[in-house]
Structure 1
């Protein structure tokens, strides 16, 4: 067997590329079509089940709406009876009324009322003195209990204080020949004047009213519809199923909600779904037969086999032509690609169509172009980084800032304000010591905040009370590292371009906080704001040669964090500006050991 396989392998390897491709394409095509058919069949089967389940749930919601409307209509009818003048008068007078006269009056009123209520089979009214008044549709109604207080649901109705209670067959308080009305609605009757219980109302809902709620659905889909009460007892159904199936359907509904369940019932498969009414907590089960779905799947199978057979015939006729159209351009493309090994990143030019070979050529050319662009970008970014580094070194030692600060210190010395002079000297020393940071780019967030505080102290020394600064710092982020001089240029921007032009004292808020794996820097002022064209230029990255300042700071951050940073600028005219910068949390300088947690500088 092994020798035979080796001979077949050697024979295949000696074929021309076009022949190899033909054999390979045919094998792959047949295998892919077979696998596709299996996947398609399973997906189509699941899709059909899903659609049938969705149809079932839509129908259930419609059925739920029908039954809910029916029960709401019964509830409304009960309110009409409760407010009837004869009912209220007879029940309120109680023993003062002549029994015969009261019964006739009550029966007449109830008969008139029931004729306007097609969904009601019978109505019973019980007073507090043992009397029972009733009216129905030509049936003889006999109670199995002597007083209504003996009914198993009596105390529950009293506790509901007028709310409706639904019970199957009214818990069998009527004689056996009167079970045609399957559901009873019971509620307490309160006097309209005294607002005290004066009786009990019981209304039996006819089976025909319930059947009408799903008659059209059963007729259209041939479905099974089952209505269960709170105890999972049958209220009504057009076909009963086993207790085990009922339990399985309800359990599946609790776990998977709208997902259907496929079960056998009566030798047939059904897709079962269920839903629960809001009140009462009845369950509706609906089963759609699988016969139609199976017929549809069988049709799809036949269509799929026909398509596969036709594709094989077409493939055998065209495979040789396609293989030649593929192999010839590939050879040309490979020859051109060998130049890349020598460092010649030159795009390929050859006549191709819009097929896969053309796409391969376009992809290769795009790759070469992107490589060239990335190389140029790296070179430009390095140049820009070096330029920004020079700019920051120049900004760290601004002569005018130093001169103005020294002048202010000279004034403090002449004025004899030694304490203020000492604080200013200490702040100036700390500012340059930490901002220079031995030529390094990375400092702790604590040092960054200290630099900003020192800078603001020196600026207040120069400008007096032209601004006040407030800090809101999340202490948990002080141990992390950051690119230096992020906050100071933002604060400088607020002073020089926000508050000073306003001509009146202003406020600056400096905020630093953690947000997941990010650190958020924010500087806000209530100055004159930024012009719309400047904000638009920042958004479009269209700032040209602005010197050291906000733009250079944002560019320096972008280059250092390799686009893993972001910023937003929000500004309103004469109301102020908020600049927010987001950088990743880092405990070490990029390229260092990740476990080396930075300790705050003291």
Structure 2
């Protein structure tokens, strides 16, 4: 046996690793069995307490909201005037009922709001009740302070409905004399939805009750138990929980043997109610037995599988594959795949060679894809420009210009001349760059046409540093922004408006700003545009196409300009938008002061 082990490092490592694994696995099984009961019970208790806390917070919100609504109602001037008037005002009554109905409809847990007016021997209610058991809970005329009733049934057009009612006196805000009473009824069915989803402990066999300070069940999933005392089903439980205002929240075990249950409770001190959750203990005891069985099975299977796998892969497979996994995990898609050198002729060696061929193939495909995309964009641009024969277009527009002048149509002549100059710079003999002065002249030609189309509607203002005229920039950046300001800002405004072109130097950058005093944008629309531009700046490939499709109906010109700025100048040059409703919009961008020396010769 010793010679057999010493003759192979694989056997040594396999036997040592198997023996070192068996002992921890056995200890782990014993440890899991010993503490599973405590862990499962603690997890069930903590999960129940967390859930109960969420339920109590929801209940607290509802209670506080009901009190806020009641304070709002009793302080309303219309209600105060109606309740204090010597005679009933039918118009005021209708308006108050409408107000009550709107409030009740806005909160799904409010079943009814009623104002009792003893002066007129009447009541104002949001719903017509055929029958109500409120009189069995409290005598309205004897209510001197705000209070909650127990649960009772009312019958309306929807049928029988369990409700819990909050009542408070309605007093004059001037002399504090009693005027009547206000009641707000909670729909118990809606309220119970907050605790209808129990934690997945005990195969969903847990129960939740909402009880008042007298131990009466106010709300539960089991509607047959409503209004019944909890003590009748669980004797002595209320004594252990405590229902006083100073009682603490907590948990306890109730019952013995198979009837043992874990009880968690929290007090709501705003209304004097208590939330009680009970989970049968035998459910997580059954889980403990299942955990024990599962642990034993896992330990045995782990021992067998580990012994077989260790023996097969310890010498040759594990280390090379782990090395390859680390290389792939830390590889960056932007760079070539790292080298994986294995000097062998077995499967691992062949895998290494295949890995290298695969990496080279990916790099070639990436370069080919980049070239194809660049060629495609260039071809699309050239095809678009080729659709208009420049010389034919210029000659035709020139002929129209002179005919208009000879006919005395000076406006038409000026409009055609502006259009001709506009198209001449737009095409620019296929060049992508122009001078700042050319770009500004391009805007002047564009606005010459637009001012004829919309006389006395728009005025241009220029604030330009003429020392920047000779600098080079990407062409056709300002025109879409000016067009956007004209169409979406000035044209929608009542009366004339002004578009201002502002150009200045900021350090090593040239800052362009297009400002208008049009209708501006709402914050939601402004945020939508900013989000669209931000997504365009961070998208690529198919993801970029999805961004374009998602905003295909709006902001196309802005998105196009932003994309060109990003591709040519980087993220610092992208568009910035500021706007306020009815105050106007400012769109700005910046380009480097020394624009690409390689492009200087491209200016026309």
For Structure 1 versus Structure 2, the TM-score category normalised by the shorter chain is: 0.3 to 0.5
Answer with 1 or 2: which has the greater Rg: 1
Give TM-score, length-normalised by structure 1: 0.38
Give TM-score, length-normalised by structure 2: 0.38
